[in-house]
Structure 1
Amino acid sequence: MTSRRQESVLFNDDMDLLCGEDSGVFSGESTGSFSSSSEVDSWPYDSIASFIEDERHFVPGVDYLSRFQSRSLDASVREDSVAWILKVQAYYNFQPLTAYLAVNYMDRFLYARRLPETSGWPMQLLAVACLSLAAKMEEILVPCLFDFQVEGVKYIFEAKTIKRMELLVLSVLDWRLRSVTPFDFLSFFAYKIDPLGTFLGFFISHATEIILSNIKEASFLEYWPSSIAAAAILCVANELPCLSSAVNPHESPETWCDGLSKEKIVRCYRLMKAMAIENNIRNSPKVIAKLRVSVRAASTLMTPSESSSFSSSSPSKRRKLSDYSWVGDEKSSSD
């Protein structure tokens, strides 16, 4: 634990982390997006292979998933945090990449450093900081730190607290924010199935939906971005009658580029199909008996004092938290 004085040395409360900072991690164009087949043809083949080689540096360690399976990390807490990130992404109309990066930063942080076991606010603070960093990396217009705290947050954090958490995340991630993601591969893989790019827009939009819809599921942590991208493209191809008969996930994917794993792509593809079936069942309409309820009759059974009490009660109250000494504690272990 650190004192307030030690925190002021570690973190400058007036510092704003902007995309224009001098650190090399903030420079350079985002990789991955192709808009035409000519761009794919001109793109060096070994560059995609280099993404596959580099992706290992931007994912949690191999035993990260096992921590959820052994319950040393709570998968439901992670799922809630990811769900909140997706809600804020939709609220501000952020790019899908922004949400993916935020979750990526969060997972890499949790792998490297354990949060204090308290009432749950440390995880919310981490989610806010990771989403803020991701937005600063990818978005043109970024809300102020206070305005990120929407969509049902339980606690409210001061801007200086979020800034300290941002710096802690950056330190733990070694300032490596320009991550390799599945979106870096989507266009390239889509052209491998559809060389003319006839259905490119359909491939990209639907594959993106598949990736984001599964990002909450911890089981996908087993797979690296290239495998997730390839599996998503195969799922989309099977939705197109003119392409589905020509696509076999058991034969073609590993030939798209050096370094791809047929076994991992097939397993990820099967998991995506299984999750799609599960989601369809979960979201299928259910027949519910209709009950006639008289609002007027119900209101007459409630006294004025009860009515006032009911309407003024709040289902949840958000607490404002501002001072977390652990955020500046670089000496704590990650066990």
Structure 2
Amino acid sequence: MSVSCSDRFTDLLCGEDSDEVFSGDSPACSSELDSPASCIEESSIAGFIEHERNFVPGCDYLARFQSQSLDAWAREEAVAWILKVQAFYNFQPLTAYLSVNYLDRFLYSRRLPQTSGWPWQLLAVACLSLAAKMEEPLVPSLLDLQVEGAKFIFEPKTIRRMELLVLTVLDWRLRSVTPFSFTDFFAYKVDPTGTFFGFLISKAKDTILSNIKEASFLEYWPSSIAAAAILCAANDIPNSSLVNPEHAELWCNGLSREKILSCYRLMQELIVDNARREPPKILPQLRVTIRPGMRSSDSSLSPHSSPYKRRKLNNHSWVDDDKGNSE
């Protein structure tokens, strides 16, 4: 079975006219707020709030997972793999978030073939590749990108065709409004002196990424997610009691008090739940017994002996007709 994609999409073309790609009133947002000074302009933040609705799936997207017309578990697995690769290559948090954003916006508009999980893997690879090309100075090859437990391996030409299908479905709108468009500005609102500015940003980004697998957050727009994440981060700084979540809507015009508070409570619940699940950081005491005559070079203990060798993929392991084959 092949992903429905025009045969003329045999390569990823990047020579598009910028006027066509960024047509309309949508602002270029993904990398605009790199410095604290640039995020102080409230008019820019208000513009992001005005246009953020154009870069999220429709309001019934979450309901599709709740009704099981979309597979929430498959989405969670795809997002988990994206996060593993992001950590492996030390990609920016924005790269991972954009990958998932592209994936969700694609799924809202186009259904994947109902077959074993390879379409989800192909979509995840294509979305991550596009996001990395948008944000990373160095991007691994399409083959090298397929690491960290990828269940299926795809030929570069297959991934490029999927990239073009994603671009077409997304109408080439890749510079999305994300929670990271707001975090600097909201952190300044919480800490105008800048004393804990770096901590708030770092903590908020970690919180956003740690919750990105949860389908429940699809209910909230980027501004609400960013505000809730900054509020959660503020709980870990001195005098955090001075930060009232009820007043977060006053940070900028267009914010929703109800959505911010609801998202904040959900994040707090997940933070507590994750803390409970974390195993105690206690190393077990191990007793090592060396039998007489045992040598360190004993082949039975060597990591290079046959039980420990990773099976390499041969030429027959690559995809054929848009379908990936497992290792």
TM-score, normalised to structure 1's length?
0.82
CA distance in 2, matches of 1:70, 1:287: 42
Q: Residues 227-242 of structure 1 correspond to what in structure 2 (within 5 A)?
A: 227-242=224-239
1:49-84 residue CA offsets vs partner (Å, 9 max, x unmatched): 111111101101111111111222121111111111
- Residue of structure 2 equivalent to 1:163: 160
Q: C-alpha distance in 2, partners of 1:111/1:72?
A: 11
Match of 2:318 in 1: 320
Query: After the TM superposition, which residues 128-143 of structure 1 pair with which residues of structure 2 at under 5 Å, given as runs?
Result: 128-143=125-140
Secondary structure in 2 matching 1:260: coil
1:245 paired with 2:241, answer yes
Deviations for 1:283-303, whole angstroms, at most 9, x for unmatched residues?
132889978797979x9xxxx
- Residue 146 (structure 1) aligns with: 143
Say if 1:161 and 1:324, in contact at 8 Å, map to a contact too: yes
74-83 vs 282-291, greater mean Cα deviation: 282-291
Indicate conservation of the 8 Å contact 1:149/1:156, yes or no: yes
CA drift at 1:258: 1.0
Q: 71-80 or 107-116, which moves further after superposition? A: 71-80
Distance in 2 between residues matched to 1:229 and 1:221, nearest whole Å: 13
Write the deviation string for residues 180-236 of structure 1: whole angstroms up to 9, x where unpaired: 000000111111111122211111111100000110111111110000000011111
Structure 1 residue aligned with 2:196: 199
Contact 2:248 / 2:257 at 8 angstroms: preserved in 1?
yes
Measured in 2, the distance between the counterparts of 1:288 and 1:149 equals: 32
Structure 1: unaligned runs, 5 residues or longer: 326-335
Deviations 1:126-185 (A, max 9, x none): 000000000111111111111111111111111110011001101111111110000000
Pick from 73, 76, 82: which aligns with 1:76? 73
Q: Given that residues 154 and 316 in structure 1 are in contact (C-alpha distance below 8 angstroms), is that contact kept between their aligned partners in structure 2?
A: no
* Amino acid of the structure 1 residue aligned with 2:320: S
Equivalent residue for 1:122, pick from 96, 111, 119? 119
| Post-superposition CA distance 1:304-326 (Å, at most 9, x none) | 9xxx998278799894213129x
What's the TM-score, normalizing by structure 2? 0.84
CA contact (8 A) 1:49 1:259 kept: yes
User: What SS class does the counterpart of residue 113 from structure 2 fall into?
Assistant: coil
CA contact (8 A) 1:230 1:265 kept: yes
3-state SS, counterpart of residue 318 of structure 2: strand
Deviation of 1:7 after TM superposition, in Å, equals 4.1
SS at match of 1:321: coil
Question: What stretches of structure 2 of length at least 5 have no aligned partner?
Answer: 295-299
2:174 corresponds to: 177
Q: Residue 330 of structure 1 corresponds to which residue in structure 2?
A: none
User: 2:104 aligns to what SS in structure 1?
Assistant: helix
One-letter amino acid of the structure 2 residue matched with residue 270 of structure 1: R
- Find the partner of 1:215 among 186, 207, 212: 212
CA 149–254 in structure 1, closer or farther in 2 if over 3 Å, else same: same
Q: Distance in 1 between matches of 2:259 and 2:3?
A: 47
Matching residue's letter, 1:281: R
User: What is residue 35 of structure 1 aligned with on the other side?
Assistant: 35
Contact kept, 8 Å, 2:186 with 2:230, in 1: the verdict is: yes
Contact map agreement 2:179 2:225 (CA 8 A) in 1: yes
Shift of 1:16: 3.4
Query: Which residue of the partner structure matches residue 98 of structure 1?
Result: 95
Which position in structure 2 is the counterpart of 1:328? Answer: none
Separation in structure 2 between the aligned mates of residue 282 and residue 146 of structure 1, nearest angstrom: 35
Number of equivalent positions = 307
For 2:283 and 2:201, the matched residues in 1 are separated by 37
SS of the residue 1:146 aligns to: coil
Q: In terms of mean alpha carbon deviation, does 285-294 or 183-192 score higher?
A: 285-294
RMSD over equivalenced CA pairs, Å = 3.0
Question: Between the two proteins, what is the percent identity of the paired residues?
Answer: 64
Instruction: Supply the AA of the counterpart residue of 1:173.
Output: L
Distance 1:312 1:190, change over 3 A: closer
Check conservation: 1:106, 1:126, Cα contact below 8 A: yes
Whether the aligned pair in 2 keeps the contact of 1:33 and 1:184 (CA below 8 Å) is yes
